[in-house]
Amino acid sequence: MPHIFRGLWPAQWVVFIMSEKSMRLENKVAIITGAASGFGEGMARRFAEEGAKIVVADLNARGAERVAAEIGKAAIWTQTDVSLRSEFDEMVYAAKSAFGRIDIMVNNAGYTHRNGDMLDVSEETFDLITAVNMKAIYHAALAVVPIMERQGGGVILTTASTAGLRPRPGLTWYNASKGWAITATKSMAVELAPKNIRVNCLCPVAGETGMLEKFMGADTPEIREKFRASIPLGRLSTPLDIANAALWLASDEAAFITGVALEVDGGRCI
């Protein structure tokens, strides 16, 4: 049915014959790591709603399979350890075999130590943080940039954190890894712009995900309230908040946006 909009001037009428709303990621293929739960699951579902084909990648095979099954025929799943380059190659092979191309790479998988004294974090935990939060971005670039270049462009999106912009005590090594991710994003954006590959990152404030307890150190109503009080809009982030921001950055609506660390934080970083 036609939708009629009145113009800015009294004598003008503009009639837009609006067919079914076009989907923002129609015919796009997106790989999303850490997509079995939390922010990654939210992105997978939201991207699929907007027409994308989804590769649900996660170390948690059972969760990845569940999310892909609930999305339906527009999704496949892979069990992927992002700390290993060989598993990126397998993930990319699965994506290409199923859907023929890769348009969007979302580096969402993340890991943190529990909030506490930085000297109490073991070397094993430190190494895992750097492997998942930092080195995985390198693995992803090696795997997808040549494909995107051959296709004429693409989007790389990383889930960083407000911790990389406004560090909080007790999360020193996690904060540092997210600061690294932000700097890598900006540097990659400059280098890959001539290839028409846009690179951006999201900086969410902590949300209702499995990592929340580690961010807070302990999960009690009192600690949650204190944490919530530090956010001007008065609540934690949700997977849908992050997914909607990611959707915009991944879509052609953000075609002139690259090198941005977008705060999705309810005002936390002000």
**Residues assigned a catalytic role:** 174
Specify whether the CB–CB gap between 206 and 185 falls below 8 A.
no
Q: Is the torsion defined by CA of 260, 163, 269, 42 positive or negative?
A: positive
Measured CA to CA, the distance from residue 261 to residue 125 in angstroms comes to 26
Specify whether the CB–CB gap between 19 and 43 falls below 8 A.
no
- Residue 168 sits at φ, ψ, to 5 deg, of -110, 145
Contacts of 270 (CB under 8 A, 6+ apart): 232
Task: Using DSSP, state whether 16 is helix, strand or coil.
Answer: strand
C-alpha Rg value of the chain to the nearest Å: 20
Residue in 94, 236, 118 with CA at minimum distance from that of residue 171:
118
Count CB neighbours of 191 within 10 A: 13
Task: Using DSSP, state whether 233 is helix, strand or coil.
Answer: coil
Task: Using DSSP, state whether 232 is helix, strand or coil.
Answer: coil
For residue 190, what are the CA distances in angstroms to 185, 187, 263?
9, 5, 20
Measured CA to CA, the distance from residue 249 to residue 260 in angstroms comes to 9
Mark 208-229 as b/e (b = at least 16 C-beta within 10 Å).
ebebeebbbeeeeeeeeeebee
Specify whether the CB–CB gap between 103 and 155 falls below 8 A.
yes
